[in-house]
Structure 1
Amino acid sequence: LLDEPSMGLSPVMVQEIAKIVTDISGRGIPVVLVEQNAEMALRLAQYAYVLETGAVALEGPAADLHENAHVRRAYLGG
């Protein structure tokens, strides 16, 4: 379980954390990632949940959520 691993880190360190998470996941070790950096989370995850006001608003394959219009507007700046 990783709770906000990118919080307060420089972009370079966020990239390092992403590499570590990818390595762990690539070894077949399940990773539960709680992250406000939606771009990072959706890039790293296979499956994701989007929470709004404490409740699950959307869930599905991370790649699908990354392309979802609401997610893009609300969390990805576009």
Structure 2
Amino acid sequence: MARPPRRRRRRRRRRRGQELLTTSQAAALAGISHTHLRNLTSEGVIPVQYRGSHRRIRRSDVQTWLAGRQRDDAGGAPAAD
């Protein structure tokens, strides 16, 4: 008896900014510890998606957070002595 043809899984293509990162990957991109990044996601500062119990963060959300942080730093906040 012949087997039915196998169905191929379609891999979803994501745009560059839509790429999902693990907390470790996102932390490396942002230059912060993964613990600090998890805290930021828990506080709602950086949006997070869950895949089961695993957190996934969009690359574009990390880049947006970084841009906002650089803007705040350049805003002339007085340096602590």
Give me the TM-score of the superposition, normalised by structure 2.
0.23
Give me the TM-score of the superposition, normalised by structure 1.
0.24
Higher strand share: 1
| Higher RCO, Cα 8 Å, sep 6+ | 2
Give the greater-gyration-radius structure (CA).
2
